Each structure stands twice: as C-alpha cells, then as structure tokens.
Amino acid sequence: MKRKFEDVITNEKDFREIMGHPSELVTRKTIDYIDENCQLFIEQSPFIVISSSDRNGNFDSSPKGDPAGFVKVLDNKTLAVPDRLGNRRADTFMNILQNPKVGLIFLIPGVKETLRVSGEAQIITDKKVLELLAHKNRLPNFAMIVHVEEAFLHCAKCIIRSKLWANVDLNAERKAPTLAKSMVDHGKLDKSYEEMDEIIKNDENTRLY
C-alpha cells in the first residue's frame, strides 16, 4: 500500500515557487550533440548508468562497466554501447523494444563532474559496429545505439557531498549486504549464502573477459 503524505506538490507552479528557476548559465550548457568536451569525457569513462522504461513507464537503471572508452562515439550524434555477458535479464533491451528513450550518466573515477546524455536507442547487430566494440577479440552479441538528443556536464556537488571518490578503503569491513545474501533472501532460495556466493564467484571467473 502506498504511503500517504500531507503536503504533496502536484504542479510546476508550486514547485518553482520553492525551487526557483535555473540561471542562463545552467540552461545554456545543454547541447544536442557530442562535442569534443563530451567525447573526451566518454573516452575516459569506464562506467555508465543507463536509465530506460517500458511503455507503461516502469523504470530501470542499469550499470555497465568496461575499460575506459568502451562506449564509442560513432559521430557527433551517435553513441554505441556494447552488451557484455550478463544474467540475460536484458531489462534495458526489453525496455528499448517498447520505448526507445534512454538516459545515460558517465562517471570517471576521481572526477567530480559527470556527463549526462539522453536520446533514442536502437538494438543492432551490425558486424562493423560490433567489431569496433570488441574486447579481447570477442565481439558483443548486440550493441545499443543512442541517437543523441541532449548532452551536458553535470556539476560536482553530488560527488562532493557524497565523498564518492574520497578515502576509498577496499579492505574496510563491508556493511552493505552481499549479492549472495540478497539473492537467497529475496528469491527464498534453498541455498546457503556461502553456496550462492560460490556460484556468483564462478560466474565472475568464467563469464568476464
């Protein structure tokens, strides 16, 4: 059951009375193509998040990572994103088949700004593009093409506030639940956490390239 709240904003006028309006400096930074600044950012980025939705507006955000520059700029209006081996849910692809609109956020470790790109996506199997996206001589089965409609660099405030890249200790005790625990708990699986963790580790060892 959806939780009820007393003070809900339901129109732009009420929202803008509190939020105010963006300055011209902010509104003018948005472009509808990939310029040299965006291309350099994309070439240095090893990690993106893709947002998509189905025809009913059910949203998904999917992380994707590879060596920096894995997303290719085909031209100043077109990006190509490889699909690597995964769990075969293919949530992003299933959404694109119903609703081609997507949004991407590019991150670079240590860089406080992010790059936001949105547009319309297609799923392709053109061999020339797949060859361009090959990693260790292995071609992806599919590529997601993004026809760019909007691109801009996002300011650093959220990264600064979160301290995302500050003092990362990979040996620190993990407090977040493991993937194995969440899969067993959520799926009510008849497996121990240790058994599920071994399955996940084997998948990482055999399906990464």
Classify 53 as helix, strand or coil: strand
Same domain, 116 and 72: yes
Mean pLDDT of the chain: 91
Do the domain assignments include residue 6?
no
Residue 87 has pLDDT above 90, yes or no: no
Q: Is the pLDDT of residue 112 over 70?
A: yes
**pLDDT tens-digit map of 25-63:** 778 889 999 999 999 999 999 999 999 999 999 999 999
> What is the C-alpha separation between 145 and 79, in angstroms, rounded?
6
Note the pLDDT of residue 201. 85
Question: pLDDT value at position 128?
Answer: 96
pLDDT above 70 for 207: no
Q: Worst-scoring range by mean pLDDT, 147-156, 171-180, 189-198? A: 171-180
What integer is the mean pLDDT of 55-79? 96
**Cα–Cα dist 198/209, whole Å:** 19
152 in the same domain as 173: no
Q: Residue 68 pLDDT more than 70?
A: yes
Mean pLDDT in residue range 99-109: 96
Q: Is residue 2 part of a domain?
A: no
Is the residue at 127 inside a domain? Answer: yes
pLDDT score of 95 more than 70: yes
Residues 175 and 134 in one domain: no
Number of domains in the chain: 2
**Is residue 209 pLDDT above 80, yes or no?**
no
Least confident residue range of 34-38, 77-81, 116-120, 200-204: 200-204
pLDDT reported for residue 99 = 97
3-state secondary structure at position 203: helix
User: Does residue 44 sit in the same domain as residue 86?
Assistant: yes
For residue 84, give the nearest of 60, 97, 66, 103 by alpha carbon. 66
d(CA 27, CA 63): 27
Task: For residue 186, give its domain range.
Answer: 169-209
In a domain, 7, yes or no: no
Stretch 83-105: mean pLDDT: 92
d(CA 61, CA 47) in angstroms, rounded, equals 13
Nearest to 151 by CA among 20, 40, 60: 40
In a domain, 114, yes or no: yes
- pLDDT value of position 134: 94
80 and 132 in contact (C-beta within 8 Å)?
A: yes
Q: What is the pTM of this model?
A: 0.86
Both 124 and 204 in a single domain? no
Are residues 142 and 124 in contact, defined by beta-carbon separation less than 8 angstroms? yes
Q: Is 48 inside a domain boundary?
A: yes
What per-residue confidence (pLDDT) applies to 187?
Answer: 87
In a domain, 5, yes or no: no
